[in-house]
Amino acid sequence: MATKYKTEKKQPHHPQIPKTPTGIVGLDEVTGGGIPQGRPTLICGEAGCGKTLLSLEFIVRGANEFNEPGVFMAFEEKTDELAMNVASLGFDLNKLQADKKIKLDHVHIDRSEIEETGEYDLDGLFIRLGYAIDSIGAKRVVLDTIENLFSGLANQGILRAELRRLFSWLKEKGVTAIITGERGEGHSLTRQGLEEYVSDCVILLDHRVINQISTRRLRIVKYRGSVHGTNEYPFLIDEDGISVLPVTSLLLEKEVSSDRVSSGIGPLDKMLDGKGFFKGSSILVSGTAGTGKTSIAACFVNETCKQNKRCLYFAFEESPKQIVRNMLSIDMDLQKHIDNGLLEFHAARPTLHGLEQHLVVIYKLIKRIKPEVVVLDPITNLVTVGSVSEVKAMLIRLIDFLQEEQITVMFTALTLNTVISEQTDEGVSSLVDAWILVRDIEFNGERNRGLYIMKSRGMKHSNQVREFIITDSGIDMVDVYLGPDGVLTGSAREAQKLQEETGMVLRSNALSMKDREIERKRKVLEAKIGSLQSEFESVEEELNKIYIEEELVKKVADKNREEITKRRHGDAPAENKNKKGKNK
């Protein structure tokens, strides 16, 4: 049954420039394998956007994961400050230094201590760096932030010449270097125009606060000799360091499965071609407030857990305990699944952090728990954190990621009571594979729930609006009753049913009366027909009588004439006399 369609990936075999993996989650994907090997890369951005951390992570991961020792030359922070700052990320710089895997060197430049007279060069820096590189056999070098030299030294002419020399010297040394630079004013990437010297790869970091929520973004401005992602990729700094999220996989080359998963609601499965959702598909359940979206989601989760599959439930509105309690009222024991370790709740207010952070949290949890079903309830709340287009972009990435992992995902979305918004909630309706709409049917002083399938890719789904009821024993669906005045639900449906039953009795009664009437009419008619027939017979007889008499008269006349003729001949028999007398 598990048929998997795999699309062949065509990889062109062009020679690629050698790259050094950074080991930073996502960054290597964006750059197509890392930063250019043996060449300097410029990382620029405003203060506090994560330049130092990114470059330090490059060194630490190089030492830990790729066995490439690195030198970190800091022009801003002292080495012990650095070590302290990144200790929270689990980087033990002091130990790495003791193990000769990395070397930290703080270059202290204080203008007040320095007087410049005449010609000089930066050979001292070269020697220091060279010594540091040689002492541990470094393959990676970070200069953070070399622009501090400009504030410390007055002679810019010398500085610029020396910097040019430094970068070509680094290339000669064959080390992969990262140079950080503060973002300049206007359009320049760095204050001192470092991009002029480092022309192989430039990565721009950005830190924006929109609606009081900050998002960090990364963009590769330039990467000579290599294909790279050109978008702005959000990135995060959390307890594991930096994660870049490139996951807008531009290629739609996902594996697909034709396996089906049950929704946990029998009639709903039936509406979906009798089998339920496709495995690994995305399902949107949208509806107005209080239409039972969460219940549908919980039903799905419950069913999945019953089949011993793992589930992950992201609640953005209710706390897990609240959901568990509420679902108990419709006979669903989610606590049991939680205890079994099959179901995991992750509840957070959307405003807790930005969309990207949410996405990363979701990623990480999915990677850790490896669920088969993920529920996000509701995605509408995420709009409080970002704009609709941002939420959409996030959900695209999430759906892409989930489909790659073959995880079925169910979103719930709140719609407002307008027809237009039904079509455009978060703009994800075009992304999802199946869209179930739950809506209020308000009629006759009560509110009932109707459910229908707006779309379901790849299957013959029902076009019917079904009334969906939440009972003590779970969710059930009844056919929406189509009365003479339109669709009827709830008590109106019951009333209409009763009314129709009464009508039926009355009608059958009326029917039998009519039948009898017809019978009577028929009888009357038959009687009439009978009398007419006899009348006709008598008329016919009358007519016949005249006819026969005429015939007889004619016969007798003929005979008489014959008789007379005979008599005239003189041999008339006696009997003819008798006949003649009889007829008269």
Active site amino acids: 76, 317
Q: Which is nearer to another protein, 118 or 570 (CB)?
A: 118
List residues bridging with 486 in a β-sheet. Answer: 483
Please state the closest distance from residue 77 (CB atom) to another protein, in A: 14
Radius of gyration of the chain (CA): 47
CB of 47 to another protein, least distance (A): 23
Closest CA to 220 of 239, 244, 242, 255: 244
Give CA–CA dist 315/331, Å, rounded: 20
Q: How far is the CB of 78 from another protein (least distance, A)?
A: 11
Distances (CA, A) of 21 to 28, 31, 121, 169, 476: 6, 9, 33, 22, 54
**Alpha-carbon distance 344 to 365, whole Å?**
10
Beta carbon of residue 61, minimum distance to another protein (angstroms, whole number) = 25
CB 244 within 8 Å of CB 229: no
Pairwise CA distance, residues 559 & 375, whole Å: 119
Q: Round to whole Å and give the CA distance between 163 and 147.
A: 10
Query: Residue 67 class from Cβ within 10 Å (0-12 exposed, 13-18 middle, 19+ buried)?
Result: exposed
C-beta of 69 vs 229, nearer to another protein? 69
Nearer to another protein, 81 or 526 (CB): 81
Tokens representing residue 168 in the block: 């070509």
Backbone phi, psi, residue 206, to 5°: -145, 150
Binding site for another protein (CB under 8 A): 105, 107-109, 113-125, 127-128, 130-131, 149, 153
Minimum gap (Å) between residue 119 Cβ and another protein: 5
Cα distance between residue 116 and residue 494, in whole Å = 97
- Which C-beta is closer to another protein: that of 127 or that of 529? 127
Residue pair 395/409 in contact by the 8 Å Cβ criterion: no
Is the CB of 132 or the CB of 283 nearer to another protein?
A: 132
| DSSP label of 31 | T
Give the C-alpha separation, 232 to 229, whole Å.
8
Question: Least distance to another protein from the beta carbon of 203, Å?
Answer: 26
For another protein, the closer of residues 116 and 535 by Cβ is 116
